[in-house]
């Protein structure tokens, strides 16, 4: 079906005026103001800008109008229209329509009507909610952010690698993996070991919680600097607005880089991909500013134009302890920072993004480089206003003995990490990396407050939408 994209018509409107074109799309609204009929359609190439079809209803017999035009006025119908592009003071351009064809009808129980639908309702129809302006704006911004991620790393010489989704090792050591099996429940096996020996892989397997370990092995294996960008899975029994079971992760691993250099890279990376997206999604950002988060552009400008703050975990705890603010969760040295603590630091104290560094080793992962104080590790979390943590990173431990001790302290099965341990034996080097929660970044850039609304089909605790 040869047709012209609506986006192309608006981007090159002057060159199309007076020309005959064919367009396709879904009906967003219609009106009969005799002797004219107006239909606005959208084909997905634009977010909020629809093309108006202008139909001279008096050119049709009543019978033909009822049979050929009237069925096309229903919200949700898909159609093909041919006509001449004309200038319009109100709409920039319109299509003076000479021929209409129904592509797909739409019954009256179509769930997306002209009234605004709640986010909660739209989650019940994920297959249709991408027709709404909110989801179209979100998905356009998400797509552009994703491209910006690849653009940033590609232009700086990083290798994009594809790491396994099915793995036998738990990167975080937290035991929150989804199990992968081909076996039905069976009580005949005498032990867990015997059960898994008869499974597909001959061992216990699960969905990856992070691509980091394989990424480290690729970087240390000779590639030097790599990044991964794909889905990861965590079986956290959490129903908060920031948690889903399947989410997208950006994870670079970089050789010959320490924590200070990693922080510089992370700041440059965040500034780049947000600037890239704001520049190319101006209409979508305007829509989000108007309908989702007032002051969104100013918030994003703060990220793009300011140097991020930096504070150690120890000093952050002191700030929180002396703030005079009453927190729901007690704050003390050794406690993991909760969302309310993170938001106080970003929204109230620093009023901009902040890197918190050098957390206690007991609350961080086994692979992080141990600092000389024996209490903390060389790590950082990037906290941003309204959301909290979107990046977690660290310098990686290269001392084999310290790494093994950290793994043993967590009762990790060393036999499942043989290849990873080898990277510390054979020419290891100083290296660092971070993980970006991509969906949380989309939340930040759009202003959308629930992570389930930045994914088309979110998977969350007790829900598969």
* Average of per-residue pLDDT across 149-167: 97
Stretch among 113-127, 330-344, 392-406 having the lowest mean pLDDT:
113-127
**Short-list 392, 430, 400, 426, CA closest to 224:** 430
* Three state DSSP letters for the chain: CCCCCHHHHHHCHHHHCCCEEEEEEEEEEEEEECCEEEEEEECCCCCCCCEEEEEEHHHCCHHHHHHHHHHHHCCCCEEEEEEEEEEECCCEEEEEEEEEEEEECCCCCCCCCCCCCCHHHHCCCCCCHHHCHHHHHHHHHHHHHHHHHHHHHHCCCCEECCCCCEECCCCCCCCCCCEECCCCCCCCCCCHHHHHHCCCCCCCEEECCCCHHHHHHHHHHHHCEEEEEEEEECCCCCCCCCCCCEEEEEEEEEECCCHHHHHHHHHHHHHHHHHHHHHHCHHHHHHHHHHCCCCHHHHHHHHHHCCCEEEEHHHHHHHHHCCCCCCCCCCCCCCCCCHHHHHHHHHHHHCCCEEEECCEHHHCCCCECECCCCCEECEEEEEECCCEEEEEEEEECCCHHHHHHHHHHCCCCHHHHHHHHHCCCCCCCCEEEEEEEHHHHHHHHHCCCCHHHCCCCCEECCEEC
Name the CATH code of domain 129-464 (choices 3.40.190.120, 3.30.930.10, 2.120.10.30, 3.40.309.10): 3.30.930.10
**Two tokens at 11?**
């981007």
Question: Is the pLDDT assigned to residue 15 strictly greater than 70?
Answer: yes
Least confident of 82-86, 93-97, 107-111, 192-196: 192-196
Taking only the tens place, the pLDDT of each residue in 17-40 is 999 999 999 999 999 998 999 999
6-110: CATH topology: OB fold (Dihydrolipoamide Acetyltransferase, E2P) (2.40.50)
Q: Quick one: average pLDDT of 421-434?
A: 96
Q: What is the pLDDT of residues 249-300, one digit of tens each?
A: 999 999 999 999 999 999 999 999 999 999 999 999 999 999 999 999 999 9
Percent pLDDT > 90 in the chain is 83
pLDDT digits (tens, 9 = 90+) for 363-393: 999 999 999 999 999 999 999 988 889 999 9
In the predicted structure, residue 172 carries a pLDDT above the cut 70: no
Say how far apart CA 286 and CA 295 lie, in whole Å.
10
Answer yes or no: is pLDDT of 209 > 70: yes
Select the more confidently predicted residue: 148 or 465: 148
Q: What is the pLDDT of residue 3?
A: 95
How does pLDDT run across 252-263, given as a tens digit for each residue?
Answer: 999 999 999 999
Cα–Cα–Cα angle for 349, 352, 358, rounded to 5 degrees:
75
- pLDDT tens for 299-326 read 999 899 989 999 999 999 999 999 999 9
- Helix 296-305 × helix 282-291 angle, to 10°: 130
Looking at residue 388, its pLDDT comes to 86
Q: Going by C-beta distance under 8 Å and a sequence separation of 6 or more, which residues neighbour residue 362?
A: 334
Question: Tokens 């971070």 identify what position?
Answer: 434
Structure-token pair, residue 121: 């309702």
Cβ-based neighbours of 434, under 8 Å, separated by 6 or more: 251, 252, 262, 266, 380, 391, 392, 393, 394
Going by pLDDT thresholds of 50, 70 and 90, the confidence category of residue 173 is low
Q: What is the pLDDT of residue 71?
A: 93
Give tens-digit pLDDT for 63-83: 889 998 999 999 999 999 999
Is 385 within 8 Å of 299 (Cβ atoms)? yes
| pLDDT value, residue 175 | 62
pLDDT at 465: 82
Q: At what angle do helices 133-154 and 282-291 cross, to 10 degrees?
A: 130
Q: 389-406, pLDDT tens digit by residue?
A: 999 999 999 999 999 999
Domain spans, the chain: 6-110, 129-464
Give the separation between CA 421 and CA 411, rounded to whole angstroms.
Answer: 15
Residue 204 has pLDDT above 90, yes or no: no
pLDDT at 239 (0 to 100): 83
Residue 146: pLDDT over 80: yes
CA distances from 44 to 26, 92, 160, 295, 407 (A): 9, 18, 29, 27, 50
Side-chain half-sphere exposure of 377, counting CA atoms within 13 A: 25
| 168-197 mean pLDDT | 81
């Amino acid at each position: 079906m040869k047709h012209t994209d609506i986006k192309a018509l608006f981007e090159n409107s002057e060159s199309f005026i007076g020309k005959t074109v064919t367009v396709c799309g879904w009906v967003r609204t219609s009106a009969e103001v005799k002797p004219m009929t107006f239909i606005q359609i959208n084909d997905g190439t634009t977010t909020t800008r629809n093309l108006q079809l202008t139909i001279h209803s008096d050119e049709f017999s009543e019978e033909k109008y009822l049979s050929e035009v009237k069925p096309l006025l229903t919200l949700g119908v898909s159609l093909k229209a041919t006509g001449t592009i004309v200038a319009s003071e109100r709409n920039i351009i319109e299509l003076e329509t000479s021929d209409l064809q129904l592509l797909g009808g739409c019954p009256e129980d179509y769930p997306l009507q002209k009234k605004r639908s709640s986010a909660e309702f739209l989650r019940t129809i994920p297959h249709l909610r991408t027709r709404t302006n909110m989801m179209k704006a979100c998905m356009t911004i998400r797509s552009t952010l994703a491209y910006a991620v690849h653009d940033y790393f590609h232009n700086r010489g990083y290798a994009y690698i594809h790491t396994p989704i099915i793995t036998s090792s738990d990167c975080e050591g937290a035991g929150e993996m989804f199990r992968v099996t081909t076996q039905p429940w069976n009580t005949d096996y005498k032990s867990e070991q015997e059960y898994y020996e008869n499974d597909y892989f001959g061992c216990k397997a699960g969905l990856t919680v992070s691509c980091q370990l394989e990424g480290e092995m690729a970087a240390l294996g000779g590639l030097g600097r790599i990044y991964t960008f794909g889905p990861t899975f965590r079986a956290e029994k959490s129903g908060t607005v920031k948690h889903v079971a399947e989410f997208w992760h950006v994870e670079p691993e970089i050789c010959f880089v320490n924590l200070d250099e990693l922080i510089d890279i992370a700041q440059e990376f965040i500034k780049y991909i947000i600037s890239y997206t704001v520049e190319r999604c101006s209409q979508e950002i305007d829509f989000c500013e108007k309908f989702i988060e007032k002051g969104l552009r100013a918030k994003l400008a703060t990220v793009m134009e300011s140097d991020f703050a930096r504070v150690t975990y120890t000093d952050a705890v002191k700030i929180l302890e002396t703030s005079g603010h009453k927190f729901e969760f007690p704050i003390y040295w050794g406690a993991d920072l909760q969302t309310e603590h993170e938001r106080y630091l970003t929204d109230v104290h620093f009023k901009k993004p902040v890197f918190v560094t050098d957390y206690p080793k007991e609350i961080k992962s086994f692979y992080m480089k141990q600092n000389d104080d024996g209490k903390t590790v060389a790590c950082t979390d990037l906290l941003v206003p309204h959301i909290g943590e979107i990046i977690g990173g660290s310098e990686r431990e290269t001392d084999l003995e310290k790494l093994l001790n950290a793994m043993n302290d967590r009762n990790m099965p060393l036999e499942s990490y043989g290849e990873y341990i080898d990277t510390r034996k054979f020419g290891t080097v100083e290296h660092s990396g971070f993980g970006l929660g991509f969906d949380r970044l989309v939340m930040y850039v759009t202003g959308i407050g629930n992570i389930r609304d930045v994914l088309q089909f979110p998977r969350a605790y007790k829900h598969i939408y």
